[in-house]
Amino acid sequence: MDASSLLDKVYELLTVYGIKVVAAIAIFIVGRWVAKAIANFIKKIMTKSNTDETLVKFVGNLSYIALLAFVIIAALNQLGIQTTSFIAILGAAGLAIGLALQGSLGNFAAGVLMIIFKPFKVGDFIEGAGVAGTVEEIQIFTTQLKTPDNKTIIVPNAKMTGDNITNYTVKGTRRVDFVFGIGYEDDIDKARKIIEGIIAEDNRVLKDPAPMVAVSELADSSVNFVARAWTSADDYWGFYFDTTEKVKKQFDAEGVSIPYPQRDIHVYEHKE
């Protein structure tokens, strides 16, 4: 083959495939720009909707990767490369990865639902998945809690949403319940006044709903009072501990007994 024929062949190849290469490069560049613009638009919409920042970043990046994959497939198709088998391979790989990571995907789905519906937020004291603590961080796959004794518990999100969740903070207030027992020989009215007075003088107690003190049970060894008062969620334990101590001291000072469990035993002498 002479030089002239070779140049003609090269020119023919460039004419046929050069346009395809340029078109494929153009599709990739423009497509990548469009994918990035769409991903940024999605992030902007989610941010305006006060969606959690972690979810915003994850969905934005996932959208960009998915769109970029379509752009690459379109560019390869423009070059004449058969992408059908390539798509099938990607689908099979995705299925295999999904089966291998089904536990993680379950945690991810649960994390997305928690971020969207917000059954609790950072700073709330909750009970769920058999543990209790203050929420420190809500991540895509796990939720991190801090227990009252300063332990860190990391709970998979699927396990957290798969059980009942009790949020002690979300309402802002909590009802504090007490049970105080006195002896059967003690004055019921006197004991009630003592309990009511201790609760009334504590400025942590809310006026509405009003506190309540009543006889709840005639037990085996004691007459039991139930006392109920409302406080802010932050004051719950402080009020509970202080009131329990004050009632015990005031009962002792005014001669109201707190009986131990007791049983009367009658002995009969049998004479033969």
- Same domain for 40 and 96? yes
Query: 132 pLDDT band (50/70/90 cuts)?
Result: very high
pLDDT of residue 32: 87
Summarised one tens digit per residue, pLDDT across range 181-220 is 999 999 999 999 999 999 999 999 999 999 999 999 999 8
Q: What is the mean pLDDT of residues 134-138?
A: 89
Q: Looking at 72-76, 224-228, 243-247, which range is the least confident one? A: 72-76
pLDDT at residue 124, rounded to an integer: 92
Question: What's the pLDDT band for 167 if we cut at 50, 70, 90?
Answer: very high
CA 186 to CA 48: how far, in whole Å?
64
Residue 178 sits in the same domain as residue 242: yes
CA angle centred on 50, ends 48 and 53, rounded to 5°: 105
Span 224-240, average pLDDT: 96
Q: Among 40-44, 114-118, 181-185, 212-216, whose mean pLDDT is lowest?
A: 114-118
124 and 41 inside one domain: no
**224 and 160 assigned to the same domain:** no
Average pLDDT of the residues in 161-171: 91
Are both 206 and 245 inside the same structural domain? yes
Q: Look up the CATH number of the domain holding residue 163.
A: 2.30.30.60
Residue 175 has pLDDT above 70, yes or no: yes
Mean pLDDT of 90-113: 67
Same domain, 31 and 95: yes
* Domain membership flag for residue 216: yes
Same domain, 96 and 127: no
The HSE-up count of residue 78 (CA atoms within 13 Å, CB side) is 17
Query: What is the span of the domain harbouring residue 30?
Result: 3-100
Give the pLDDT mean for 226-242. Answer: 96
- Give the CATH number, domain containing residue 226: 3.30.70.100
Q: What is the residue-averaged pLDDT of the chain?
A: 83
8 Å CB contact between 188 and 180? no
For residue 209, is the peptide bond before it cis, meaning its omega torsion is within 30 degrees of 0?
yes
What's the number of domains the chain is made of? 3
- Say whether both 75 and 25 belong to one domain: yes
* pLDDT value of position 3: 57
Residue 258 is assigned to a structural domain of this protein? no
> In the structure encoding, which two tokens stand for residue 197, read together?
């007075």
Question: Looking at the structure, do residues 81 and 137 belong to the same domain, yes or no?
Answer: no
User: Is 111 within a domain?
Assistant: no
Residues 146, 193 within the same domain: no
Specify the pLDDT at position 169. 92
* Domain membership flag for residue 45: yes
One domain, residues 38 and 84 = yes
pLDDT band at 253 (very low <50, low <70, confident <90, very high): very high
